[in-house]
Amino acid sequence: MTTEKIDNISVTTQANVYFDGKCVSHNITFADGTKKSVGVVLPSTLTFNTGAPEVMECVGGSCEYKLKGSSEWLVSKAGEKFNVPGQSSFEIRVTEPYHYICHFG
């Protein structure tokens, strides 16, 4: 099931802009202190590094991704998620806008 709306949150209005605008996100914080980011990756091939483990939830579009140490590109579509270990990285390949929620920790 695709997340379409998130209620009762605080939003950081200043956008996080990465890779010359190819990825733009906003940080959100829940009442219990849980933090996530909501954003979009525009058509490109990018590499992201992780500190904490992340779950990437696709809420629109699709992407191909490859985790560090793997040679296999996998597909994630709306309603699907993929896990990225902490202290790692992943490559993402996008041919249409990929809308996501990044769940930290």
**Predicted confidence (pLDDT) at residue 105 exceeds the cutoff of 80:** no
Token pair belonging to 70? 């793997």
Domain 10-104 indexed as CATH 2.60.120.10: yes
Distance CA 9, CA 25 (A): 15
Question: Where do the domains of the chain lie?
Answer: 10-104
Q: Is the pLDDT of residue 1 over 90?
A: no
Note the pLDDT tens digit of each residue in 40-91: 999 999 999 999 999 999 999 999 999 999 999 999 999 999 999 999 999 9
Task: Please report, rounded to a whole number, the percentage of residues in the chain having pLDDT higher than 90.
Answer: 97
Pairing mode, strands 98-104 and 74-77: unpaired
